[in-house]
Amino acid sequence: MATVQQPTRISSPSRSHFRNEPAVDFTRPENARAMREALARVKSELGREYPLVVGGVEMKTAKKITSTNPAHPAEVVGVHQKAAAEHVQLAMDAALDAFESWRHTPVEDRAALIQRTAALVRERKFEFGAWMVYEVGKNWAEADADVAETIDFLEFYSREMLRLAAVEPPVQLPGERDRLRYIPLGVGAVIPPWNFPCAIMAGMTAAAIVAGNTVILKPSSESPTIAAKFFEALVEAGMPEGVVNFCPGGGGDFGQMVVEHPNTRFIAFTGSREVGLGINEAAAKHRAGQVWIKRTILEMGGKDAIIVDSEANLESALDGVVASGYGFQGQKCSACSRLILDERVYDAFLESLAERVKQIKVGDPLENAYMGPVVSESARKGILKYIEIGKKEGRLLAGGNAIENPEGGYYVAPTLIADVDRNARIAQEEIFGPVMAVIKARDFDDALAIANGTQFGLTGAVYSQNPEKLERARDEFHVGNLYLNRKCTGAMVGAHPFGGFNMSGTDSKAGGPDYLLLFLQAKSIAERLR
């Protein structure tokens, strides 16, 4: 009898070797059946109301946040409380109180909590994926990748904290016992995005608390339900009250007040450039009663480019460009929104690419269409506005329109615009949708100049069979995550520490060996021996 694909399990909370969570193969009938069963179970829970949870106390508010299915906007996924000004001090007091005991909790116990949570998410892998299909319109593979990355973050950070707890200074002076101890910062605000509503939310939260901090978690208003499910898993795994305080709310009021609070020690944020810069500015201002310089961990936008060189394997490049530009409707900060083609392959590659883009299946993610809806009506309006700008700035080869359907989903056709000037708006401004601008380069020098010619520096890719050109890209393509002869999306925890340069953020390198240090401070202790 066929069995559902199960991921590799790690036996016990330890510093044992980290392994990435394998992807589910949905071409196997038993896995497709398991996913449909999970979708049916989740459907039976749609519309449930979730409380605000502060210090373990469940609360309700007069104002609500209603999360809906972007493919079927009349369908309510979850109803959430809306934290407001009166909840800021309550959440801060709960987090401060919990910090006094949590920071002294042995590292092994904190790591064990995170690994127990990973085990729960792994057991409910299909259900967690199903929630994202409903709440943000991910197809099955995209949702599964999000859950797998969630598990990876939990497993990786728990092991990294155990490693850091065992660090010793490189030098022991004669007659002294010298130690280096990494200690937590305090109370932090975690403000995640909606596009990776489980992985990034869980990764930032887990990193903060495994390091010994406590958290006020303000999930995106577009995706609070999957955050609630993760919070429930933390509680089930044995998280003490107040270590994470679940507070959906508005970014302009509740979120801003938490950022500005003098007792907030750090802010971990992933989102737009504009909001990230606002957080950075607010955090830099000293407030009465504040005794530290606040730390900001910011992952912001991108205007990512793929260079296809004249010496590239064009079929491989075609696959990577399509996956990078249109996977999850282009709603990734790492998505390819600029395609830079050497003029010697420009026409032939464009012809093949346009045909591929026109063949992309757009439909209901419940049925596992390659492309589903964008996340909201406001997102669709913004994308369509950029498409109209793009029609004036280049030559429309595919898409260029909204797709209407009886259910009212927020669909946009995959769009390809050629002959775009390197300084055009659609070549410079983040669109966050299924829109790709194609720019012609004279040669590889010109291609690199175009690629580096934005305020961002998150991801990029180069397709070329010329080793010298690849070496130049390693040195000269100024992005935090560079990929050679592969797509520019799909960073893997442990292998591809993720974070960008310039206006793409503080280069946090999530999923890498440096990340937890952002949530810690180093205390040097020297004892003279008699």
Query: 335-359: per-residue pLDDT in tens?
Result: 999 999 999 999 999 999 999 999 9
Q: What is the pLDDT of residue 5?
A: 42
Residue 476 is among the residues annotated as catalytic for this protein:
no
By three-state DSSP, how is residue 67 classified?
A: strand
Choosing from 142, 260, 299, 430, which is the catalytic residue? 299
Confidence of residue 15 (pLDDT cuts 50, 70, 90): low
Domain boundaries defined on the chain: 30-300+509-523, 304-492
| CATH class of this structure's domain 30-300+509-523 | alpha beta
Mean pLDDT, rounded, for 27-41: 98
Structure confidence by residue, pLDDT tens digits, 362-376? 999 999 999 999 999
Mean pLDDT, rounded, for 9-28: 76
Residue matched to tokens 């259910």: 407
Which residues, at least 6 apart from 291, have a Cβ–Cβ distance to it below 8 Å?
A: none
Choosing from 247, 333, 336, 488, which is the catalytic residue? 333
Residue 299 is among the residues annotated as catalytic for this protein:
yes
Phi-psi region of 45 (alpha: psi -120 to 50; beta: other; left: phi over 0): alpha
Question: Whose CA is closest to 222, among 97, 65, 83?
Answer: 65
- HSE of 465, CA atoms in CB hemisphere, 13 A: 8
How high does pLDDT run on average in the chain?
Answer: 96
Structure confidence by residue, pLDDT tens digits, 457-498? 999 999 999 999 999 999 999 999 999 999 999 999 999 999
pTM to 2 decimal places: 0.96
Mean pLDDT, rounded, for 9-30: 78
Q: Which CATH number fits domain 304-492: 3.20.20.10, 3.40.190.10, 3.40.309.10, 3.30.750.210?
A: 3.40.309.10
Q: What is the pLDDT of residue 11?
A: 37
Structure confidence by residue, pLDDT tens digits, 367-416? 999 999 999 999 999 999 999 999 999 999 999 999 998 889 999 999 99
Contact of 177 with 527, CB cutoff 8 Å: yes
Pair of tokens at residue 208: 């903060």
SS3 per residue for 433-497: CCEEEEEEECCHHHHHHHHCCCCEECEEEEECCCHHHHHHHHHHCCCCEEEECCCCCCCCCCCCC
Structure confidence by residue, pLDDT tens digits, 192-220? 999 999 999 999 999 999 999 999 999 99
First to last CA, the chain: 70
